[in-house]
Structure 1
Amino acid sequence: MAFNFFLSLTLVISLSTEVLPEVLESHEYLKREHSLIRPYLGTGTSVPYWDFLGNTMVTSNFVRLTADVQSQKGAVWNKVPCNVRYWEVQLQFKVHGSGKDLFGDGFAFWYVKDPMRLGDVFGSMDYFNGLVVIADTYSNHNAAHKHGHPYVSAMVNNGTLHYDHDRDGTHTQLGGCVSKFRNINFDTYLSIRYIRDTLEVRTSIDGGQTYTGCFTVVGVALPTGYYFGVSAVTGDLSDNHDVIAIKTYDLVPLEGAEVLEDRSHLVPSALNFEAPRDHVDDPKPSMLTGWKKIALLVIGIAGISGAVIIGGLMYAKQKENQRKRFY
C-alpha cells in the first residue's frame, strides 16, 4: 500500500515537473479591456472597448472581418492602448470558404501605434510602427518562395519598411511556418506571446488543447502604449475571415528582477531578420476566357485548312499548265 502511494506521488511529481517550465514561467492575468469575448454586443450595436472598420460584421457567434466575397477589407481594433510590458494574445479564429485550389488573401494580428487605418497590408496600413503577425492564405507564390500556404509570419516595423506582397514579405520577416488552418471544422487558435524581448508565435489547429510552436525570435523591442487589432482582406480570391475570441493576458515573470523603465517612447526594432528569399515573377494570367480560347483555336484550324486547300489548288493548276506546254 505504501509502495503504491509512493509510486503515485512520484508520478504526480514527475508530471508536474514536466509542465512547470511552460505553465509556471509567469503569472497570467486576463485583461478584459483588451479582450473580445462572447457575447460581444453592449448597449445598442456597440462592443465595449472595440471599434470596427470596413466590411466587418458582428454576429452573435463571431465577428466577420470579410465575407467570401471579392475585394473586401475589414478590421477590429481595441480602443484601449496596452500599457503592460509583457503580454500574450490568444486569438480564436476561423478561415473558411468555397475555394478548393485558389483562395485568399488572409488576415493579420497587429500591435501598432496607429490603429483604425485601412490599407493594403491584409486590410491595414503599410509603413506602420509596431508588430504584425500575418496568416497568409494566398497560395500562388508557393514555388517562387519555397514554402507552402497558409503561412504564418511576423514583421517588426519602425515606420520605414515596406511590406512586399510580391515576395510575401520574406525580405523583412522575423520567422515563419506553414499552418494548414483553413476549412477546419474545429476551433483554431493563434498565440502571440511577448516576454523579455522574446516573441513566440504558436498555433493550435489539431482540435487539441495544446499549442504547437511556429517560431521564436529573441531581440525584439516593442514599446508600451500601442493598440491591438485584427484585419483581413480579399482580392480576386476570397474567404470568410472570422474572429471568435481575443483573450489578452498580462504576463508577470516569476523569477528574475525586472528593470523598471519607460518604454512608451521606444522605437520598435528587431535584431535579426530571416535571409531574403529568391524572387521569381509569377506568370501573368491570361486575359482570354475559355470561349475565346476555343474560338481562336477554331479560327486557327480553319486558317491552316484554308491554306492547305489553296496551296493544293495552286499546285494542281501549276501542274496543269506544265502539262499543256507539251501539246
Structure 2
Amino acid sequence: MEVVRRVTCRLLAVFLLFCCVLAEWNTQDYLKREHTLVKPYSGSGLAVPQWDFVGTTMVTNNFVRLTSDHQSRQGAIWNTQPCMIKNWELHVQFKVHGSGKNLFGDGFGIWYTKDRNQLGPVFGNKDFFTGMAILFDTYSNHNGPHNHEHPYVSAMINNGTLHYDHDRDGTHTELAGCEAKFRNKDYDTYAAIRYQDNILKVSLDTDGKNGWKECFVAHGVKLPIGYFFGASAATGDLADNHDIISLKLYELDSITKKEDSSDYRGLPSADFFAAPRDHIEDPKGAFMSGGGWSGWKIFIIIVLSILGLAVCGVVGYVIFNKNSDYSRKRFY
C-alpha cells in the first residue's frame, strides 16, 4: 500500500505540473505580440517595432510619456498593424501625475479607430473619428449638481459623424462611464478593455488592490476588424504627465453557442447610449465660467474685496472731511 500511495502522489504531482505549464502556455499563446507594447521599448536606433510616435511623445526606459507636465502639448502612439481579431481584451498600464493640486488636465484616450497618427482636439486625437474611444478625463471645469466628479472614464462609439464636446464632457455622445480616482497614485494603475461578442466592458485597477473593479458594461456594440489601437493625450492651459507603461492585447474566444463566421466590416455602432444629462450654461464672460472655487480664484476674490473695502474707506474719509469743513464754515 505504501508503494501504491507514493506512486499515486508522484503521478498527481506530475499531472499538476503539466497543467500549470499548459495553462501558462495557453495564456502566452493568446497574447498578440504584434499589438503589444512592453519594456524594453526601443528596437534598432530610436524606432520601436510596430509602433509609431507622434507629437510630444517621448520614449524612456520605464515609460512612454505622451505629454509632460507643460501647457499645450499633444502626443500619441499608434500600432502599425491593423487588428484582425474579433474578440479581444486590451490591458493598459498607465500613470497620470503632475504638480497641480486643484487644477490639472486634460486627460488621455485609448483608441481603436480606422485612422491613426492624426493629432487633434479630442485628448490628442482627431475629432469626428471612426471607431471607439475610452477617454480618461481629468479636467473638471464645470459647476452644478448635474456633473459627475473627475477624473472620469467614459466610452464613445463614433461612425465619423459625431463631435466630441469638451464643454459638456462628451455627455451627448457618451456610451457609458464611471468615476475613477487614478491620478497621482503611488502604485501602478491599470485598465482592462474587453470586447467580446458585441459586448464592451471596461474594468479598472486604480485602488492598489490587485483586482479588477467593473467600470461599465455596454451591450450591442459593433466594431469592425482592421482598425488600429493607439493612445493619445493632451494638455491645455492645465497640464499633467500622461505615461503609458504597457499595452497588452489578448485574443479571446467567443462565449456564444452560435459562432458568427463573418467578420464585421461595417461602421462602428452601438444599440444604447447613456441618457444625456442636462447642462447648465455658465454666463458668457462671467468670472466663474472657467471652473469651481479653486484656490487662485478665492485668492483673487479676497484681494479684490480688500481693494474694494480700501477704496470705500478712502471715499468715505474724503466725504467726511468735506462735510466737516462745510459745517465749520456755517458758523463764521
TM-score by length of 2: 0.82
Residue in structure 2 matching 1:308, options 316, 320, 332: 316
* Per-residue deviation, 1:304: 3.2
Residues of 1 paired with 2:43 and 2:123: CA distance?
28
Aligned residues: 297
Aligned counterpart, 1:127: 128
Aligned counterpart, 2:142: 141
Aligned counterpart, 2:289: 284
Residues of 2 paired with 1:175 and 1:253: CA distance?
23
Aligned counterpart, 1:112: 113
Aligned counterpart, 1:19: none
Q: Is the 8 A contact 2:141 2:290 kept in 1?
A: no
Q: Is the 8 A contact 2:197 2:255 kept in 1?
A: no
Residue by residue over 1:14-50, the C-alpha shift from the partner in whole angstroms, topping out at 9 and shown as x without a partner, is xxxxxxxxxxxx9971111100011111111100110
Q: Is the 8 A contact 2:124 2:233 kept in 1?
A: yes
Change (3 A) 1:185 1:313: closer
1:175-324 map, 5 Å: 175-253=176-254, 256-264=257-265, 266-282=266-282, 283-285=288-290, 294=303, 297-298=306-307, 300-301=308-309, 303-324=311-332
Residues of 2 paired with 1:228 and 1:181: CA distance?
22
Change (3 A) 1:239 1:313: closer
* Per-residue deviation, 1:70: 1.3
2:69 counterpart SS class: coil
Structure 2: tracts of 5 or more residues without a match: 1-26, 283-287
Change (3 A) 1:197 1:293: same
Residues of 2 paired with 1:128 and 1:143: CA distance?
30
- Larger fraction in strand: 1
Q: Is the 8 A contact 2:150 2:180 kept in 1?
A: yes
Change (3 A) 1:143 1:262: same
Task: Name the Cα RMSD after superposition.
Answer: 2.6
1:4-153 map, 5 Å: 29-141=30-142, 143=144, 145-153=146-154
Residues of 2 paired with 1:308 and 1:181: CA distance?
53
1:124 counterpart SS class: coil
TM-score by length of 1: 0.83
What residue identity is the alignment partner of 1:284? S
Moved more, 85-94 or 141-150: 141-150
Change (3 A) 1:104 1:278: same
Change (3 A) 1:263 1:102: same
Moved more, 68-77 or 280-289: 280-289
What residue identity is the alignment partner of 2:312? I
What residue identity is the alignment partner of 1:274? A
Residues of 1 paired with 2:143 and 2:305: CA distance?
31
